[in-house]
Amino acid sequence: MISVIITAAVILALVGADQALKFWAIASLQGQPARPFLQLGSLDWMHLRYIENSGAAFSSLSGNRGFLIIFPVIMITACFYLLNRLGKTRRWVWFALPLIAAGGIGNLIDRIFRGGKVVDYLDFQLCRFAVFNFADICVTVGVFILMFSIIFLEKEEKNAKKAKKAVRIPFARTAAALPEAVELPEADILPEAAALPEADVLPEAETRPEAESAAVLNGEDHGHAGA
């Protein structure tokens, strides 16, 4: 919304400047000889010369009043439509289209309220050229910005989008499979150890009664004593 208000204010300011310059030209230059306006050293760049142009920009299509009223209306409408349509994605339209619209409105006011004639007052001297006005300058600069943007800026944006798509990595829906583990060779199975032979069971010692054992021991003692 703010950009629309600013654009409308810029267009109104440009149209107001154009009409103010035309009123000044009517009051100061009408019926007067051309006079120097821009001089740099010995170069005479531009004169101020009052003429009334019944044609389009730079005196073209002279005498076609109906076309020169309808066509600017279509052009101005297209400018506002493109501003609304492309303004959010292409910033350059906010520089080009308001200039074109303001220039078209400025000259359209002359054709409607000044009997189909546009007031021109700038006479370029370095080459043979038509007399023009501030509104013509606005249209020319706006068209130049428009063509430059379409040829160069649009091309750069398309190349940037292509490069961005080329760099973008697609999203993998499934995780990549891990490499299979290398299987180790099976170890050789050792032969079973031979079973140890069972140990022989020793016979149990016979147990003697305690009295018998004591007698034997006493007899052995007497024998040793007699000897």
Q: Choose the catalytic residue: 18, 110, 120, 123.
A: 120
| Whether 120 is catalytic | yes
Looking up tokens 């149990």 gives 204
What count of other Cβ atoms lies within 10 Å of the Cβ of residue 125? 17
Which tokens sit at 116?
């189909």
Q: Choose the catalytic residue: 44, 136, 200, 221.
A: 136
| Whether 110 is catalytic | no
Instruction: Supply the residues annotated as catalytic.
Output: 120, 136
